[in-house]
Amino acid sequence: MKKTKNMILEAVASIFIIAMVIFTLYPVTYTVIGSFKTNSELTLGGSFLPKVWHPENYVQAFIQADFIKYTWNSVTLSISVMALATLTASLAGFVFARRDFAGKRFWLTLYTSLMFIALGSVTLYPIYNLLTTFHLNKSMLGLILALVSGQASNVLLTMGFVKGIPKELDEAAIIDGCSLYGIFFRIILPLIKPIIAVVALFAFRHAWNDYITTLVMTISLPRLRTLTVAVVQLKYAVNAAAEWHIMLAGASIAILPIIIVYAFCHKQFIGGLTLGAVKG
């Protein structure tokens, strides 16, 4: 009976995993295959595979979207957000895990509670007003700061990882004359590299895929437009009718960098999450 029960549980788990893989891969597969179809094939439906493959959709999308310019904007934005988010999240996680200060529990609870409140686009207007006040609404720096904010999950991941590091290391560093920042950069930072890789990947993905915030911040500044925003604009780039085949071709090009980044970093990503779960 026990063996039969285990077999049933394994079968259910396998079915669930297969279903999740299908639901995850289907949109990407449909986007890539749809990018080789004509617009009429996409709008009218029909066969999953195109009757005639149209690679020229990619050439048209590349030219219309000015991919070189907007890709450079996306790369600059994503790397900057990744670097700043990694630094701030690791510092905040270190402080919450190691230091005691007035109202620590209150501020930590208040900060992490924002993870469960879906404010969405409600925050865009006050963020834009804040950037305007500091004259940052017309620069790439303002967009970077807007995307770095609100990373409670990254702080919690880092905090849980830091808690797993013995405090005796901090005490030994203090005896040797290390300051608070010396402890962080010389002792803690080298030991939390796995979780830093996870936070960096999360931040890069968030900045690269963001659409609403980037659209609002660059609506009057086309020169700062990112690739994600430019791809959506392809739908109405030339004709009044929606050109879905061109937009899907642009989307296929746009998702390629994030797939490449994950392909090279997936070991660090999985390892960081696993170690973080054990340490936390």
Domain ranges of the chain: 66-279
Strands (E), the chain: none
* Reported confidence tier of residue 80, pLDDT bands at 50, 70, 90: very high
pLDDT (0 to 100) of residue 269: 61
pLDDT (0 to 100) of residue 86: 92
Task: Say yes or no to pLDDT of 157 above 90.
Answer: no
Task: Say yes or no to pLDDT of 228 above 90.
Answer: no
Dist. CA 131–CA 141, nearest whole Å: 10
Q: What angle do CA 62, 67, 70 make, to 5 degrees?
A: 155
Task: Say yes or no to pLDDT of 61 above 50.
Answer: yes
Tens of pLDDT along 178-217? 888 888 888 888 888 888 888 888 888 888 888 888 888 8
* Reported confidence tier of residue 279, pLDDT bands at 50, 70, 90: very low
pTM (two decimals):
0.79
Q: Which of 102-116, 184-198, 225-239 has the lowest mean pLDDT?
A: 225-239
Average pLDDT value for residue range 84-108? 87
Average pLDDT value for residue range 94-104? 85
Q: What are the Cα distances from residue 45, in Å, to 38, 39, 243?
A: 11, 10, 14
**Mean pLDDT over each residue of the chain, to the nearest integer:** 82
Dist. CA 72–CA 227, nearest whole Å: 8
pLDDT (0 to 100) of residue 156: 85
* Reported confidence tier of residue 102, pLDDT bands at 50, 70, 90: confident
pLDDT (0 to 100) of residue 15: 93
Which of the two residues, 90 and 117, has the higher pLDDT score? Answer: 90
pLDDT (0 to 100) of residue 280: 44
Average pLDDT value for residue range 221-245? 74
Percent of the chain with pLDDT over 70: 88
pLDDT (0 to 100) of residue 192: 87
CATH of domain 66-279: 1.10.3720.10
Task: Say yes or no to pLDDT of 143 above 50.
Answer: yes
Average pLDDT value for residue range 95-118? 80
Average pLDDT value for residue range 48-67? 81
Please spell the DSSP secondary structure of 43-99, one letter per residue: HH---SS-SS--THHHHHHHHHTTHHHHHHHHHHHHHHHHHHHHHHHHHHHHHHHH-
Task: Say yes or no to pLDDT of 252 above 90.
Answer: no
Which of the two residues, 268 and 201, has the higher pLDDT score? Answer: 201
pLDDT (0 to 100) of residue 39: 80
Tens of pLDDT along 5-19? 788 888 888 999 999
pLDDT (0 to 100) of residue 18: 93
Task: Say yes or no to pLDDT of 108 above 90.
Answer: no
Site of tokens 């749809």: 34
